[in-house]
Every structure is written in C-alpha cells, then in structure tokens.
Structure 1
Amino acid sequence: MLTSNLKVVEKYDYLTEKFRRGYEFLRTTDLKALAVGRVDIDGDDIYASVQEYTSLKADTCKFEAHNRYFDIQYVVEGEEQFGYAKRENLTEEAPYDETNDIVFFCEPEEAGTVLLKAGDCIVVAPEDAHKPRCQAKEACYVKKIVIKVRV
C-alpha cells in the first residue's frame, strides 16, 4: 500500500517519471498475451515481472518486503486477498537476501488486507511489507504483472 510518513515521502519525489512509465506499460501492452518472466521497460530501473499462479491459503503465504524497488502490482486475471503491514513493526523470519532483494517476515499480530480483482493495482513501498498470492474465497488462477520501480 502506498502509505508513507512525511519524514520520508520527499525522498521518492524523483520517481514520478518512472511510475508514469510503469503505468503507461500497463495501459498500452496486451497483458494477457505476455508470457511468464521478465519484460524490461528501462533495464534494471523499471521492469515487469509477469506471474501466473493459483492463489493459496493465507497461512501458507508469507509477508515480504524489498529494499531496492517499489512494486506496482496489477491483477490481469483472477483475484487475491492481499495482506499489508508496516515493515518497521515486523520481525524478520530470515536475513535480507541481497541477490533477490527480498526479506521475509514472521506473521504479525495485526495486518490489513485488501481484495484485488482484475484491473486493480496496488503500490507497495520499501517501507511496506506485503503478503501476495492469498486466495480470497477459494483458490483461483491469477495472472499478475508486478512493475518493479527502482528507488
């Protein structure tokens, strides 16, 4: 979720153009035709990760966060219950993986969720932890595009 604090919000002002390019990719590309994998938009600065999966029970999914990238997560097909929590309130389950820019967290006492359906998107900042791939009412096929925007 794009929530922030006034102490840090200005450090991301320079990303406006990168976000615009990511949204433009989502608007102008035949997303249903994309194969699973990476699609470069601007090298490592902006790229799309095309994902297809069956949503899972929430207790099998994990909270995660990234240090180097914002995520713009866009659901092309299907739906998922998307968990979110402030990263600063969570306990790391394992150390940060520098190579894959990911850290996993233990399940928090409190977290929010939002239902994402086809056509919905959510922006996840490095300060946010998120729990993707969770089924809503029942497991279903999901096609999602995650636009990675380098900080």
Structure 2
Amino acid sequence: MLATSIDLVSKYDYLSEKFTAAYKWLAEHDIKNMEDGKYVITDGVFAMVQRYETIDFSEARFESHKEYFDIQYIADGKESFGMALVKDCKLNESVPDNDVYFYDTPEFFTKVNLKAGDLIVVPPEEAHQPRACYNNEKMAVVKVVVKVKI
C-alpha cells in the first residue's frame, strides 16, 4: 500500500536498492521471535524490533523525520496509524539529535489500519501517528521500524 500526495508519488523511488533490501530483510526474518533491538540491514538501512501495547488515539503523537523514511511493519497484532502531510501540521516539539519532530493533531488526517503482515512506508514529508489502538482495543504488538536514509 502506498498512500501519499500526487506531489510525492514520483519524488522517491520506493523500489530502489535500499528499499528492496529492507523488504527482503522483513520477508526473510522471523521477527516475532527476534529480540527487541537494532539490526543493520545494509549501508543506510537498519531495523528496530520493538514490542509494546497500543494506546488510545488521543495519546498517540504525530511525528515525522527529516533524515529517514520509516517502513513500519506489523509482525504480530493490530494497530491504527494516523497519516497527514507535514505541511498541514503544527510543530510542537523538535528533537533533531534523534531526527524526530512532533506535531499537534492536525485537522485533516487519514487513519490506516495495519495487521500482522502489513507495512506502511512513510516519507519525510508525511507525519505519522503510530501505536494507536485498532477499534479502541489495546493489544500487544510486535513491530519493526525500518529506517531508510535519504
């Protein structure tokens, strides 16, 4: 699935070597049984395996990154995920050392539901709101966030 604006759809090559290395790594690893932590995939691409319980939409924060794409892959569980263009968001916190920027919840955003086996690719121009409950139900999730350097 690729959901983005017409301005961004041709800006990036979502099948470039870095992206295909990330997709291949995701397909070839038994992520549910991997330990949480960071895994280097190739130059400029790494994965972070994480486990958590989803949170209410009202608690989930919109964020973006300037140096990396996110490929967020659900290995187990379900979550909902808010998406908006950064240009439509109001910045409320910057942590440039960690390449993360937080925003107020925008007036207009899209919700995407992700289940085990689903992924979403998020470019720097899009803010995302991960970790939100699917159907208002808190549940355990195993996720991999693959960071792809621009």
TM-score (norm 2): 0.92
Note the residue ranges of structure 1 that are not aligned, 5 or more in a row: none
Tell me the secondary structure at the aligned position of residue 93 of structure 1: strand
Equivalent residue, structure 1, for 2:117: 119
Residue by residue over 1:25-55, the C-alpha shift from the partner in whole angstroms, topping out at 9 and shown as x without a partner, is 0011111121111111125x00001110000
Contact 1:70 1:126 in 2 (8 A): yes
Q: Secondary structure at the match of 1:145?
A: strand
Paired position in structure 2 for 1:16? 16
Cα 1:57/1:8, change in 2 over 3 Å: closer
Query: Whole-Å Cα distance in 2 between the matches of residues 5 and 97 of structure 1?
Result: 29
CA deviation profile, 1:75-131 (whole Å, cap 9, x unmatched): 00000011000111110011x322110000001112110110011011000000000
Q: Which amino acid aligns with 2:129?
A: K
Greater mean deviation of Cα atoms: 48-57 or 31-40: 31-40
The answer on whether the counterparts of 1:53 and 1:141 sit within 8 Å (CA) in structure 2 is yes
Task: Report the alpha carbon displacement of residue 7 of structure 1 after superposing the two structures with TM.
Answer: 7.0
Check if 1:148 corresponds to 2:147: yes
**Partner SS, residue 92 of structure 2:** coil
State percent identity of aligned pairs.
41
Whether the aligned pair in 2 keeps the contact of 1:2 and 1:125 (CA below 8 Å) is no
- Is contact 1:81–1:136 with CA below 8 Å preserved after alignment? yes
Counterpart residue type for residue 18 of structure 2: K
Question: Are the equivalent residues in 2 in contact too, given 1:49–1:146 (CA < 8 A)?
Answer: yes
Distance in 2 separating the partners of 1:6 and 1:119: 28
Query: Which secondary structure state, in structure 1, belongs to the residue aligned with residue 121 of structure 2?
Result: strand
The CA distance in 2 between the partners of 1:122 and 1:78, in whole Å, is: 15
User: How far, CA to CA, are the matches of 1:31 and 1:7 in structure 2?
Assistant: 30
Paired residues of 1:54 and 1:142 also in contact (CA < 8 A): yes
After TM superposition, the score normalised by the length of structure 1 is: 0.91
Residues 54/97 of structure 1: CA separation in 2 closer, same or farther (3 Å cut): same
Q: Counting strand residues as a fraction of each chain, which structure ranks higher?
A: 2
* 1:8–1:117 Cα change, 3 Å: closer
Counterparts of 1:55 and 1:8 in 2: how far apart (Å)? 29
* Number of equivalenced pairs: 148
Confirm whether residue 38 of structure 1 aligns to residue 7 of structure 2.
Answer: no
